[in-house]
Amino acid sequence: MKVSAREIAEIVCLQLGRRQVAPQDRLMEDLGADSADLLNLVVALEDRWGIAIGEEEAGALRTVDDLRRLVESRD
């Protein structure tokens, strides 16, 4: 499934209250996300694309681009 960086960035900005993010931004270190924020991001991705993301996969997410790659890996 093809997912644009812009689509992911919009979700991240909405969930984290940011104006803009870059693909290389680290979710926790650069954007200040905590575990609840990461859970909300995962749920938003699951809802938007109708996918399921496992706990182990969610725990491996580090950057905004990791979110995009994870969604794209679903078919």
pLDDT (tens place) for every residue of the chain, 75 residues total = 899 999 999 999 999 999 999 999 999 999 999 999 999 999 999 999 999 999 999 999 999 999 999 999 987
Task: Give me the residues paired with residue 63 across strands.
Answer: 26
Q: Following DSSP, what letter does each residue of 28-65 receive, concatenated?
A: TTTT---HHHHHHHHHHHHHHHT----HHHHHT--BHH
Tell me the fold of 5-72: 1.10.1200
Q: What integer pLDDT is reported at residue 67 of this predicted model?
A: 97
